[in-house]
């Protein structure tokens, strides 16, 4: 309010420039590169068998990882925020662990555990289970990396909401399940959805951890990000950018959904509270 005009314009200008160079320009580049050789090449490169397999695998991985995360995140947040028990802060640290570990290390852990030279490798090989360099490994690594997303969204919200409403529901005669479905879940639905969207974005975009366990077998163990890398290394930039554009679209959709949820939950809680402010921000 009190700053002179030139300072205001300078700061705003800098911010806009920064946004343009680091966000908008790359976005434009992705799509121009993807469509450089025409729309036919674009569609051909995302429908050729290996690309289609990569897309299918990515969707499959997300389809497995997200529901598991949903259930786990909700259960963990519920336990952490509504109960007091020994080792609670240790559990919270464990939940956060994947955030602080490099994804490559996360992948490597699974190789050390389930790989042929790993702890469980010989046993798995003997029973003909294939985890590393196969789909199960990719799913496991993705689950590990996306582990904290839902729980992290829910814990602060559920902590501020406390458990009084749940107690009220129980006193009114509701069973445990009724309390979960009618009170707990509706109260956290927006944060839960938000967590799922973030989790989905990460699950589809994960590179490091998946790269270690995948083995890069074209048509079998390549996810979209891995396929992008392969194409790029083969100087097939149109193909690489076409695949990359898919992930970019996912990002944009995520962004729009996030804003919508943000807006929706703000309306929902406009007069209620301060309580909901923190979570979405």
Partner 1 sequence: MSIEVRNITKTFGNFVALKDVSFKVETGELVALLGPSGSGKTTLLRIIAGIDVPDERGGAILIHDEDTSGTSFRERRVGFVFQHYALFRHMTIFENVAFGLRVRPRKLRPSEDVINQKVSALLELVQLDWLGDRYPSQLSGGQRQRVALARALAVEPSVLLLDEPFGSLDAQVRKELRRWLRRFHDELKITSVFVTHDQEEALEVADRVVLMNQSRIVQVGTPEEVYHHPANAFVYNFLGNVNLFHSRVEEGKVYLGDIPIDLPSEAAEDAKTALVFVRPHLLEIELQPNGSDHFRAKVEHINAAGPVVRVELITDWGDPVHVELSHERYRALGLQRDAEVFVIPKERKVFTDHSKPFGSERELP
Residues that bind partner 1 (CB under 8 A): 164-165, 167-175, 178, 182-183, 186-187, 268-269, 271-273
Minimum Å gap between C-beta 64 and partner 1 is 30
Question: Taking Cα atoms as reference points, which of 280, 142, 229, 122 lies closest to residue 270?
Answer: 280
Q: Which is nearer to partner 1, 116 or 172 (CB)?
A: 172
CB 69 within 8 A of CB 147: yes
Q: Which is nearer to partner 1, 245 or 265 (CB)?
A: 265
Place of tokens 């160079």: 21
Minimum Å gap between C-beta 89 and partner 1 is 18
Q: Which is nearer to partner 1, 182 or 216 (CB)?
A: 182
Q: Which is nearer to partner 1, 18 or 181 (CB)?
A: 181
Q: Which is nearer to partner 1, 89 or 117 (CB)?
A: 89
CB 99 within 8 A of CB 148: yes
Minimum Å gap between C-beta 178 and partner 1 is 5
Question: Taking Cα atoms as reference points, which of 49, 54, 45 lies closest to residue 210?
Answer: 54
Minimum Å gap between C-beta 161 and partner 1 is 8
Question: Taking Cα atoms as reference points, which of 186, 184, 231, 225 lies closest to residue 206?
Answer: 225
Q: What is the largest CA-CA distance in the chain?
A: 75
Minimum Å gap between C-beta 82 and partner 1 is 14
Residue 260 has, within 13 A of its CA and on its CB side, a CA count of 8
Question: Taking Cα atoms as reference points, which of 249, 237, 233 lies closest to residue 45?
Answer: 237
């Amino acid at each position: 309010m009190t700053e002179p005009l030139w300072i205001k314009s300078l700061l705003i200008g800098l911010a806009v420039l920064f946004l343009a160079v680091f966000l908008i320009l790359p976005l434009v580049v992705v799509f121009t590169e993807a469509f450089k050789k025409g729309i036919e090449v674009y569609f051909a490169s995302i429908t050729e068998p290996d690309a289609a397999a990569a897309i299918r695998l990515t969707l499959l991985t997300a389809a497995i990882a997200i529901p598991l995360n949903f259930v786990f995140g909700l259960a963990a947040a519920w336990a952490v925020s509504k109960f007091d028990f020994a080792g609670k802060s240790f559990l919270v640290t464990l939940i956060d662990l994947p955030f602080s570990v490099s994804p490559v290390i996360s992948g490597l852990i699974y190789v050390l555990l389930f790989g042929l030279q790993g702890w469980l490798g010989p046993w798995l090989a003997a029973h003909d289970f294939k985890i590393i360099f196969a789909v199960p490994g990719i799913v496991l690594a993705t689950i590990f990396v996306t582990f904290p997303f839902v729980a992290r969204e829910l814990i602060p919200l559920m902590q501020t909401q406390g458990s009084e409403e749940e107690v009220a529901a129980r006193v009114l005669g509701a069973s445990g399940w009724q309390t979960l479905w009618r009170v707990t879940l509706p109260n956290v639905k927006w944060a839960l959805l938000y967590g799922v969207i973030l989790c989905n974005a990460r699950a589809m975009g994960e590179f490091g951890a998946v790269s270690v366990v995948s083995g890069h077998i074209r048509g079998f163990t390549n996810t979209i990000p891995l396929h992008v890398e392969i194409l790029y290394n083969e100087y097939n930039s149109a193909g690489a950018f076409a695949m990359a554009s898919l992930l970019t679209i996912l990002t944009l959709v995520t962004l729009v959904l996030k804003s919508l949820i943000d807006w929706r939950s703000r309306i929902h809680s406009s007069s209620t509270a301060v309580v909901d402010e923190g979570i979405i921000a």
